Amino acid sequence: MSLYSQVIAALAVLFYLTAVFCAVDAIIRVRTAQGAIAWALSLLTIPYLALPCYLIFGRNKFAGYLEQRREIAHETRELLQRTHNALDDYLIGYSDELPLYNSLYNLSRTPATSGNRIELLVNGQATFKSILDGLETATDYILIEFYIIRDDNLGARFTRILSQKAQQGVRVHLLYDEIGSRNFHRTRMCKQLLKTGVEVAAFNTTQGRRNRFQLNFRNHRKIVVVDGKQAWVGGHNIGDEYLGLNKRRGFWRDTHARLEGPAVLGVELAFATDWRWATRKPLEIQHQLEPPRCGNSDVLVFASDPASTLEEAGLMFHQVIVEARYRIWIASPYFVPDRGIISALQLAALRGVDVRLIIPDEPDGPLVGLANWAFTRELLPAGVKLYRYQGGFMHQKVLLMDNKVAGIGTANFDNRSFRLNFEITLLVHDEHFCVEIEEMLEDDIAHSHRVTPEEIADKPLWFTFATGVARLFSPIL
Protein backbone atom coordinates (compact mmCIF):
# COMPACT_ATOMS: atom_id res chain seq x y z
CA MET A 1 0.00 0.00 0.00
CA SER A 2 1.39 3.40 -0.97
CA LEU A 3 1.92 6.20 1.50
CA TYR A 4 -0.90 8.11 -0.15
CA SER A 5 -3.29 5.20 0.38
CA GLN A 6 -2.22 4.89 3.99
CA VAL A 7 -2.91 8.57 4.61
CA ILE A 8 -6.35 8.30 3.01
CA ALA A 9 -7.16 5.21 5.07
CA ALA A 10 -6.00 6.90 8.28
CA LEU A 11 -8.11 9.99 7.54
CA ALA A 12 -11.14 7.80 6.81
CA VAL A 13 -10.71 5.99 10.13
CA LEU A 14 -10.28 9.31 11.96
CA PHE A 15 -13.36 10.70 10.25
CA TYR A 16 -15.45 7.70 11.24
CA LEU A 17 -14.17 7.76 14.85
CA THR A 18 -15.13 11.43 15.01
CA ALA A 19 -18.60 10.51 13.75
CA VAL A 20 -18.86 7.81 16.46
CA PHE A 21 -17.80 10.35 19.10
CA CYS A 22 -20.44 12.81 17.82
CA ALA A 23 -23.08 10.06 17.84
CA VAL A 24 -22.33 9.47 21.54
CA ASP A 25 -22.41 13.25 22.10
CA ALA A 26 -25.82 13.43 20.36
CA ILE A 27 -27.23 10.67 22.57
CA ILE A 28 -26.08 12.56 25.66
CA ARG A 29 -26.86 16.13 24.66
CA VAL A 30 -29.61 16.33 22.04
CA ARG A 31 -32.81 17.62 23.59
CA THR A 32 -35.34 15.05 22.34
CA ALA A 33 -35.13 11.27 22.03
CA GLN A 34 -36.25 11.49 18.39
CA GLY A 35 -33.50 13.98 17.58
CA ALA A 36 -30.86 11.96 19.38
CA ILE A 37 -31.84 8.79 17.50
CA ALA A 38 -31.91 10.58 14.15
CA TRP A 39 -28.47 12.13 14.65
CA ALA A 40 -26.90 8.94 16.03
CA LEU A 41 -28.19 6.74 13.19
CA SER A 42 -27.19 9.19 10.47
CA LEU A 43 -23.73 9.73 11.98
CA LEU A 44 -23.11 5.97 12.07
CA THR A 45 -24.57 5.14 8.65
CA ILE A 46 -23.76 8.16 6.48
CA PRO A 47 -20.96 9.88 8.42
CA TYR A 48 -19.52 11.77 5.43
CA LEU A 49 -22.80 13.66 5.05
CA ALA A 50 -24.00 13.71 8.66
CA LEU A 51 -20.79 14.79 10.43
CA PRO A 52 -20.48 18.24 8.78
CA CYS A 53 -24.20 18.80 9.38
CA TYR A 54 -23.87 17.84 13.04
CA LEU A 55 -20.91 20.14 13.59
CA ILE A 56 -22.95 23.05 12.21
CA PHE A 57 -26.52 22.24 13.26
CA GLY A 58 -26.22 19.64 16.00
CA ARG A 59 -25.36 21.90 18.90
CA ASN A 60 -28.09 23.64 20.87
CA LYS A 61 -25.91 25.30 23.50
CA PHE A 62 -23.63 28.21 22.74
CA ALA A 63 -20.17 27.28 24.03
CA GLY A 64 -17.94 30.04 25.36
CA TYR A 65 -20.63 32.67 25.79
CA LEU A 66 -21.64 31.33 29.19
CA GLU A 67 -18.15 31.91 30.57
CA GLN A 68 -18.23 35.49 29.32
CA ARG A 69 -21.69 35.96 30.77
CA ARG A 70 -20.42 35.00 34.22
CA GLU A 71 -18.03 37.93 34.01
CA ILE A 72 -20.69 40.34 32.82
CA ALA A 73 -23.08 38.95 35.45
CA HIS A 74 -20.63 40.07 38.12
CA GLU A 75 -20.59 43.55 36.62
CA THR A 76 -24.37 43.43 36.35
CA ARG A 77 -24.75 42.58 40.01
CA GLU A 78 -22.55 45.53 40.90
CA LEU A 79 -24.63 47.80 38.68
CA LEU A 80 -27.89 46.51 40.11
CA GLN A 81 -26.50 46.97 43.62
CA ARG A 82 -25.57 50.57 42.81
CA THR A 83 -29.01 51.17 41.32
CA HIS A 84 -30.94 49.23 43.95
CA ASN A 85 -31.91 52.28 45.98
CA ALA A 86 -32.97 54.13 42.84
CA LEU A 87 -34.96 51.13 41.59
CA ASP A 88 -36.33 50.06 44.94
CA ASP A 89 -39.61 51.92 44.50
CA TYR A 90 -40.13 50.32 41.06
CA LEU A 91 -39.24 46.68 41.63
CA ILE A 92 -42.13 44.23 41.31
CA GLY A 93 -41.99 41.28 43.68
CA TYR A 94 -44.18 38.20 43.78
CA SER A 95 -47.88 39.03 43.64
CA ASP A 96 -51.23 37.37 42.89
CA GLU A 97 -52.02 40.06 40.32
CA LEU A 98 -49.09 39.17 38.06
CA PRO A 99 -48.75 35.38 38.13
CA LEU A 100 -46.91 35.44 34.78
CA TYR A 101 -44.14 37.62 36.21
CA ASN A 102 -43.95 35.28 39.22
CA SER A 103 -43.37 32.22 37.07
CA LEU A 104 -40.83 33.95 34.81
CA TYR A 105 -38.96 35.72 37.63
CA ASN A 106 -36.31 33.01 37.96
CA LEU A 107 -35.86 32.74 34.17
CA SER A 108 -35.27 36.44 33.67
CA ARG A 109 -31.93 37.96 34.63
CA THR A 110 -33.46 41.38 35.32
CA PRO A 111 -36.34 42.30 37.64
CA ALA A 112 -39.74 43.47 36.47
CA THR A 113 -40.32 47.16 37.16
CA SER A 114 -43.22 49.57 37.40
CA GLY A 115 -43.29 53.24 36.44
CA ASN A 116 -42.62 52.74 32.74
CA ARG A 117 -44.13 54.30 29.65
CA ILE A 118 -44.42 52.26 26.46
CA GLU A 119 -45.40 53.51 23.02
CA LEU A 120 -46.66 51.23 20.27
CA LEU A 121 -44.97 51.81 16.89
CA VAL A 122 -46.79 50.23 13.95
CA ASN A 123 -44.75 49.68 10.77
CA GLY A 124 -41.52 51.19 9.51
CA GLN A 125 -42.39 54.84 9.04
CA ALA A 126 -43.47 55.30 12.67
CA THR A 127 -40.66 53.12 14.02
CA PHE A 128 -37.74 54.74 12.24
CA LYS A 129 -39.04 58.26 12.75
CA SER A 130 -39.21 57.56 16.47
CA ILE A 131 -35.73 56.00 16.60
CA LEU A 132 -34.04 58.65 14.46
CA ASP A 133 -35.70 61.47 16.42
CA GLY A 134 -34.54 59.79 19.62
CA LEU A 135 -30.96 59.52 18.38
CA GLU A 136 -30.96 63.24 17.70
CA THR A 137 -31.57 63.90 21.42
CA ALA A 138 -28.56 61.87 22.63
CA THR A 139 -26.08 63.77 24.78
CA ASP A 140 -24.17 60.97 26.55
CA TYR A 141 -24.30 57.59 24.79
CA ILE A 142 -26.08 55.50 22.17
CA LEU A 143 -26.30 51.70 22.14
CA ILE A 144 -27.52 50.17 18.89
CA GLU A 145 -27.76 46.50 17.96
CA PHE A 146 -29.43 44.90 14.93
CA TYR A 147 -29.43 41.51 13.27
CA ILE A 148 -29.42 43.05 9.77
CA ILE A 149 -27.94 46.43 8.81
CA ARG A 150 -28.15 47.45 5.14
CA ASP A 151 -25.97 50.04 3.47
CA ASP A 152 -28.91 51.68 1.69
CA ASN A 153 -30.92 54.89 2.01
CA LEU A 154 -32.17 54.10 5.51
CA GLY A 155 -28.68 52.98 6.50
CA ALA A 156 -27.35 56.32 5.24
CA ARG A 157 -29.79 58.18 7.51
CA PHE A 158 -28.53 56.22 10.50
CA THR A 159 -24.92 56.78 9.44
CA ARG A 160 -25.42 60.52 9.22
CA ILE A 161 -26.87 60.83 12.72
CA LEU A 162 -24.55 58.34 14.42
CA SER A 163 -21.46 59.92 12.86
CA GLN A 164 -22.61 63.38 13.83
CA LYS A 165 -23.24 62.31 17.42
CA ALA A 166 -19.89 60.56 17.69
CA GLN A 167 -18.11 63.71 16.48
CA GLN A 168 -19.99 65.68 19.13
CA GLY A 169 -18.50 63.46 21.84
CA VAL A 170 -21.43 61.07 22.33
CA ARG A 171 -20.26 57.48 22.92
CA VAL A 172 -21.79 55.40 20.14
CA HIS A 173 -21.60 51.59 20.30
CA LEU A 174 -22.94 49.62 17.32
CA LEU A 175 -23.25 45.83 17.31
CA TYR A 176 -24.32 43.62 14.40
CA ASP A 177 -24.65 39.88 13.79
CA GLU A 178 -21.84 38.48 11.68
CA ILE A 179 -24.19 36.15 9.77
CA GLY A 180 -27.26 38.37 9.42
CA SER A 181 -25.03 41.26 8.29
CA ARG A 182 -22.22 39.15 6.87
CA ASN A 183 -20.81 41.83 4.55
CA PHE A 184 -21.41 44.85 6.73
CA HIS A 185 -17.74 45.25 7.69
CA ARG A 186 -16.91 45.84 4.00
CA THR A 187 -19.55 48.53 3.40
CA ARG A 188 -19.01 52.26 3.02
CA MET A 189 -21.43 52.69 5.90
CA CYS A 190 -19.25 50.73 8.29
CA LYS A 191 -16.08 52.51 7.17
CA GLN A 192 -17.73 55.91 7.61
CA LEU A 193 -18.93 55.04 11.11
CA LEU A 194 -15.47 53.85 12.17
CA LYS A 195 -13.86 56.94 10.64
CA THR A 196 -16.06 59.27 12.69
CA GLY A 197 -15.43 57.50 15.99
CA VAL A 198 -18.35 55.08 16.27
CA GLU A 199 -17.32 51.87 18.05
CA VAL A 200 -18.44 49.01 15.78
CA ALA A 201 -18.28 45.30 16.64
CA ALA A 202 -19.59 42.06 15.17
CA PHE A 203 -21.30 39.53 17.42
CA ASN A 204 -19.07 36.66 16.31
CA THR A 205 -20.74 33.39 17.23
CA THR A 206 -17.74 31.61 15.69
CA GLN A 207 -15.08 33.20 17.88
CA GLY A 208 -13.22 30.90 20.26
CA ARG A 209 -11.56 27.54 19.70
CA ARG A 210 -14.74 25.51 20.36
CA ASN A 211 -16.99 27.66 18.21
CA ARG A 212 -15.55 27.50 14.70
CA PHE A 213 -18.48 25.55 13.31
CA GLN A 214 -21.40 26.96 15.33
CA LEU A 215 -22.95 28.80 12.41
CA ASN A 216 -26.40 27.78 13.58
CA PHE A 217 -26.60 30.48 16.24
CA ARG A 218 -27.72 34.06 15.60
CA ASN A 219 -27.91 37.27 17.59
CA HIS A 220 -31.40 38.24 16.50
CA ARG A 221 -31.89 41.15 18.90
CA LYS A 222 -32.88 44.65 17.76
CA ILE A 223 -31.98 47.18 20.44
CA VAL A 224 -31.53 50.94 20.57
CA VAL A 225 -30.84 52.80 23.83
CA VAL A 226 -30.30 56.57 24.19
CA ASP A 227 -28.73 57.95 27.38
CA GLY A 228 -30.35 55.23 29.49
CA LYS A 229 -33.65 57.09 29.21
CA GLN A 230 -35.22 55.65 26.05
CA ALA A 231 -35.07 52.21 24.47
CA TRP A 232 -36.54 50.69 21.31
CA VAL A 233 -37.20 46.95 20.84
CA GLY A 234 -39.14 45.13 18.13
CA GLY A 235 -39.11 43.37 14.79
CA HIS A 236 -37.52 45.92 12.44
CA ASN A 237 -33.95 45.75 11.19
CA ILE A 238 -32.17 48.59 9.39
CA GLY A 239 -32.96 48.38 5.70
CA ASP A 240 -35.20 49.93 3.06
CA GLU A 241 -37.32 46.77 2.84
CA TYR A 242 -38.54 47.46 6.39
CA LEU A 243 -40.09 50.63 5.00
CA GLY A 244 -41.87 48.59 2.33
CA LEU A 245 -39.49 49.76 -0.41
CA ASN A 246 -38.45 46.31 -1.65
CA LYS A 247 -40.40 45.56 -4.84
CA ARG A 248 -40.29 41.80 -4.35
CA ARG A 249 -41.46 41.96 -0.73
CA GLY A 250 -43.89 44.83 -1.09
CA PHE A 251 -45.61 46.15 2.03
CA TRP A 252 -43.74 45.19 5.22
CA ARG A 253 -45.97 44.69 8.28
CA ASP A 254 -43.97 45.00 11.50
CA THR A 255 -44.20 46.27 15.06
CA HIS A 256 -41.77 48.00 17.41
CA ALA A 257 -42.07 49.65 20.83
CA ARG A 258 -40.47 52.66 22.46
CA LEU A 259 -39.79 52.35 26.19
CA GLU A 260 -39.08 54.92 28.90
CA GLY A 261 -38.53 54.31 32.59
CA PRO A 262 -36.67 51.88 34.87
CA ALA A 263 -37.07 48.94 32.45
CA VAL A 264 -34.63 50.64 30.06
CA LEU A 265 -31.90 49.36 32.38
CA GLY A 266 -32.88 45.78 31.50
CA VAL A 267 -32.48 46.52 27.79
CA GLU A 268 -29.07 48.07 28.49
CA LEU A 269 -27.95 44.99 30.39
CA ALA A 270 -28.87 42.74 27.45
CA PHE A 271 -26.76 44.92 25.17
CA ALA A 272 -23.89 45.01 27.68
CA THR A 273 -23.77 41.21 27.77
CA ASP A 274 -23.58 41.02 23.98
CA TRP A 275 -20.99 43.78 23.78
CA ARG A 276 -18.79 41.95 26.29
CA TRP A 277 -18.87 38.80 24.16
CA ALA A 278 -18.17 40.68 20.92
CA THR A 279 -15.30 42.84 22.17
CA ARG A 280 -14.07 41.00 25.29
CA LYS A 281 -14.30 44.37 27.02
CA PRO A 282 -16.91 45.80 29.41
CA LEU A 283 -19.30 48.44 28.20
CA GLU A 284 -17.85 51.70 29.50
CA ILE A 285 -20.80 54.03 29.89
CA GLN A 286 -22.31 55.92 32.80
CA HIS A 287 -25.66 54.26 33.33
CA GLN A 288 -28.75 56.25 34.24
CA LEU A 289 -28.80 55.42 37.96
CA GLU A 290 -31.95 57.29 38.92
CA PRO A 291 -34.61 56.42 36.35
CA PRO A 292 -37.64 58.69 36.62
CA ARG A 293 -41.20 57.42 36.78
CA CYS A 294 -42.51 57.90 33.26
CA GLY A 295 -45.84 56.07 33.22
CA ASN A 296 -47.99 53.28 34.63
CA SER A 297 -46.76 50.25 32.69
CA ASP A 298 -45.18 47.26 34.42
CA VAL A 299 -42.48 45.77 32.18
CA LEU A 300 -40.34 42.66 32.32
CA VAL A 301 -37.41 42.73 29.90
CA PHE A 302 -37.02 39.08 28.92
CA ALA A 303 -33.65 38.45 27.26
CA SER A 304 -33.12 34.83 26.16
CA ASP A 305 -30.13 33.04 24.66
CA PRO A 306 -28.80 29.56 23.78
CA ALA A 307 -26.11 29.68 26.49
CA SER A 308 -28.60 29.11 29.29
CA THR A 309 -29.28 25.77 30.90
CA LEU A 310 -33.03 26.16 30.29
CA GLU A 311 -34.70 26.98 26.99
CA GLU A 312 -35.87 30.39 28.10
CA ALA A 313 -37.86 31.73 25.15
CA GLY A 314 -39.72 28.46 24.65
CA LEU A 315 -40.59 28.29 28.35
CA MET A 316 -41.76 31.90 28.29
CA PHE A 317 -44.16 31.27 25.40
CA HIS A 318 -45.34 28.04 27.01
CA GLN A 319 -46.10 29.81 30.30
CA VAL A 320 -48.01 32.61 28.56
CA ILE A 321 -50.22 30.01 26.84
CA VAL A 322 -50.76 28.01 30.02
CA GLU A 323 -51.75 31.06 32.08
CA ALA A 324 -54.21 32.46 29.50
CA ARG A 325 -57.77 32.34 30.84
CA TYR A 326 -59.85 33.66 27.95
CA ARG A 327 -57.52 34.84 25.18
CA ILE A 328 -54.09 34.19 23.67
CA TRP A 329 -53.32 35.87 20.35
CA ILE A 330 -49.90 35.42 18.73
CA ALA A 331 -48.52 37.01 15.56
CA SER A 332 -45.28 35.62 14.17
CA PRO A 333 -43.67 35.39 10.72
CA TYR A 334 -42.14 32.00 11.54
CA PHE A 335 -44.53 29.45 13.05
CA VAL A 336 -42.53 26.25 13.53
CA PRO A 337 -43.11 25.27 17.20
CA ASP A 338 -42.23 22.10 19.10
CA ARG A 339 -44.48 19.39 20.47
CA GLY A 340 -44.83 21.04 23.90
CA ILE A 341 -46.06 24.30 22.41
CA ILE A 342 -48.46 22.52 20.06
CA SER A 343 -49.95 20.60 23.00
CA ALA A 344 -50.26 23.78 25.09
CA LEU A 345 -52.11 25.56 22.27
CA GLN A 346 -54.43 22.58 21.77
CA LEU A 347 -55.24 22.36 25.49
CA ALA A 348 -55.82 26.11 25.72
CA ALA A 349 -58.35 25.98 22.88
CA LEU A 350 -60.03 22.90 24.36
CA ARG A 351 -60.54 24.65 27.71
CA GLY A 352 -62.29 27.53 25.94
CA VAL A 353 -59.48 30.04 25.47
CA ASP A 354 -59.72 32.13 22.29
CA VAL A 355 -56.49 31.02 20.59
CA ARG A 356 -55.60 32.96 17.44
CA LEU A 357 -52.41 32.70 15.41
CA ILE A 358 -51.51 35.18 12.67
CA ILE A 359 -48.79 34.19 10.20
CA PRO A 360 -47.82 35.47 6.74
CA ASP A 361 -49.69 34.05 3.78
CA GLU A 362 -46.37 34.09 1.90
CA PRO A 363 -43.73 32.90 4.40
CA ASP A 364 -40.02 33.56 4.12
CA GLY A 365 -39.01 30.41 2.24
CA PRO A 366 -40.79 27.27 0.95
CA LEU A 367 -39.69 24.97 3.79
CA VAL A 368 -41.06 27.34 6.42
CA GLY A 369 -44.32 27.63 4.49
CA LEU A 370 -44.76 23.88 4.20
CA ALA A 371 -43.93 23.37 7.88
CA ASN A 372 -46.60 25.97 8.76
CA TRP A 373 -49.22 23.85 7.01
CA ALA A 374 -48.07 20.72 8.84
CA PHE A 375 -48.65 22.33 12.24
CA THR A 376 -51.88 23.98 11.11
CA ARG A 377 -53.28 20.52 10.37
CA GLU A 378 -52.79 19.57 14.03
CA LEU A 379 -54.18 22.73 15.60
CA LEU A 380 -57.46 23.32 13.78
CA PRO A 381 -59.31 20.24 15.15
CA ALA A 382 -58.74 21.54 18.70
CA GLY A 383 -60.39 24.86 17.88
CA VAL A 384 -57.32 27.03 17.29
CA LYS A 385 -58.02 29.84 14.81
CA LEU A 386 -55.23 30.38 12.29
CA TYR A 387 -55.09 33.44 10.04
CA ARG A 388 -52.80 33.95 7.06
CA TYR A 389 -51.99 37.65 6.64
CA GLN A 390 -52.49 38.82 3.05
CA GLY A 391 -51.72 42.53 3.28
CA GLY A 392 -47.99 42.04 2.58
CA PHE A 393 -45.17 40.29 4.42
CA MET A 394 -45.91 40.17 8.15
CA HIS A 395 -42.74 40.20 10.27
CA GLN A 396 -44.02 41.31 13.69
CA LYS A 397 -43.48 39.25 16.86
CA VAL A 398 -46.41 40.13 19.11
CA LEU A 399 -48.50 38.33 21.72
CA LEU A 400 -51.57 39.26 23.75
CA MET A 401 -52.66 37.29 26.81
CA ASP A 402 -56.15 38.04 28.16
CA ASN A 403 -56.35 41.79 28.74
CA LYS A 404 -53.35 41.85 31.06
CA VAL A 405 -50.07 41.15 29.30
CA ALA A 406 -48.78 42.08 25.85
CA GLY A 407 -45.44 41.10 24.39
CA ILE A 408 -43.36 42.81 21.71
CA GLY A 409 -39.87 41.75 20.76
CA THR A 410 -37.64 39.80 18.44
CA ALA A 411 -38.50 36.18 19.29
CA ASN A 412 -40.32 34.21 16.61
CA PHE A 413 -42.64 31.31 17.36
CA ASP A 414 -40.17 28.68 16.23
CA ASN A 415 -37.47 26.33 17.47
CA ARG A 416 -34.71 28.68 16.33
CA SER A 417 -35.91 31.48 18.59
CA PHE A 418 -36.76 29.04 21.37
CA ARG A 419 -33.31 27.45 21.46
CA LEU A 420 -30.72 28.89 19.06
CA ASN A 421 -31.10 32.66 18.87
CA PHE A 422 -30.30 35.54 21.17
CA GLU A 423 -33.66 37.30 21.56
CA ILE A 424 -35.32 40.00 23.63
CA THR A 425 -39.02 40.49 24.45
CA LEU A 426 -40.82 43.21 26.41
CA LEU A 427 -43.65 41.72 28.50
CA VAL A 428 -45.94 44.61 29.37
CA HIS A 429 -48.67 44.60 32.02
CA ASP A 430 -50.90 47.55 31.10
CA GLU A 431 -54.58 47.25 30.18
CA HIS A 432 -54.55 50.39 28.03
CA PHE A 433 -51.56 49.09 26.07
CA CYS A 434 -53.30 45.71 25.69
CA VAL A 435 -56.27 47.48 24.12
CA GLU A 436 -53.92 49.12 21.61
CA ILE A 437 -52.42 45.72 20.76
CA GLU A 438 -55.90 44.21 20.44
CA GLU A 439 -57.01 46.89 17.97
CA MET A 440 -53.80 46.47 15.96
CA LEU A 441 -54.16 42.68 15.74
CA GLU A 442 -57.86 42.92 14.89
CA ASP A 443 -56.88 45.10 11.93
CA ASP A 444 -54.31 42.47 10.91
CA ILE A 445 -56.97 39.75 11.15
CA ALA A 446 -59.25 41.85 8.93
CA HIS A 447 -56.51 41.65 6.28
CA SER A 448 -56.08 37.90 6.73
CA HIS A 449 -57.61 34.69 5.45
CA ARG A 450 -58.82 32.24 8.09
CA VAL A 451 -57.74 28.68 7.34
CA THR A 452 -60.48 26.03 7.55
CA PRO A 453 -60.27 22.23 7.98
CA GLU A 454 -61.97 21.86 4.59
CA GLU A 455 -59.20 23.88 2.95
CA ILE A 456 -56.58 21.51 4.34
CA ALA A 457 -58.61 18.42 3.40
CA ASP A 458 -58.72 19.61 -0.21
CA LYS A 459 -54.92 19.74 -0.48
CA PRO A 460 -53.44 17.08 -2.82
CA LEU A 461 -51.55 14.06 -1.49
CA TRP A 462 -48.18 15.34 -2.69
CA PHE A 463 -48.71 18.51 -0.63
CA THR A 464 -49.46 16.49 2.50
CA PHE A 465 -46.27 14.49 1.96
CA ALA A 466 -44.23 17.65 1.35
CA THR A 467 -45.48 19.24 4.57
CA GLY A 468 -44.47 16.10 6.46
CA VAL A 469 -40.96 16.25 5.01
CA ALA A 470 -40.68 19.96 5.84
CA ARG A 471 -41.68 19.21 9.39
CA LEU A 472 -38.64 16.95 9.76
CA PHE A 473 -36.47 20.04 9.32
CA SER A 474 -38.41 22.10 11.90
CA PRO A 475 -35.65 22.03 14.56
CA ILE A 476 -33.33 24.08 12.31
CA LEU A 477 -35.77 26.22 10.29
Question: Cα 158 vs. chain centroid, distance in angstroms?
Answer: 22
Element (H, E) at 175: strand 171-177
Please, where are the H alpha helices in 88-174? Answer: 99-104, 123-136, 153-167
Catalytic residue from among 61, 165, 173, 222? 222
Task: Indicate which residue of 177, 402, 414, 430 is catalytic.
Answer: 402
Query: Is 459 labeled as catalytic in the residue annotation?
Result: no
Catalytic-residue membership of 402: yes
Q: Nearest to residue 355, comparing CAs of 334, 378, 324, 333? A: 324
| Catalytic residue, candidates 220, 229, 236, 256 | 220
397 is catalytic: yes
Annotated catalytic residue within 177, 227, 338, 361: 227
- In whole angstroms, what is the distance from residue 389 CA to residue 406 CA? 20
Catalytic residue among 397, 404, 414, 429: 397
| 220 among known catalytic residues | yes
Q: How many CB atoms lie within 10 A of CB 46?
A: 12
Question: What contacts 24+ positions apart, CB below 8 Å, involve 308-311?
Answer: 308/66, 310/107, 311/31, 311/418, 311/419
Tell me whether residue 222 is one of the annotated catalytic residues.
Answer: yes
- DSSP string for 208-258: SGGGTT-TT-EE---EEEETTTEEEEES--BSGGGGT--TTT-SEE-EEEE
Orientation angle between helical segments 3-29 and 33-45, nearest 10 degrees: 170
Q: Which residues contact 416 (CB under 8 A, 6 or more apart)?
A: 218, 334, 336, 476, 477
Task: For helices 366-379 and 461-472, give the axis angle rounded to 10 degrees.
Answer: 100
Q: Please tell me whether residue 62 adopts helix, strand or coil conformation.
A: coil
The answer to whether the CB of 384 falls within 8 A of the CB of 359 is: no
Q: Of 229, 256, 395, 404, which residue is the catalytic one?
A: 395
Tell me which residues are annotated as active site: 220, 222, 227, 395, 397, 402
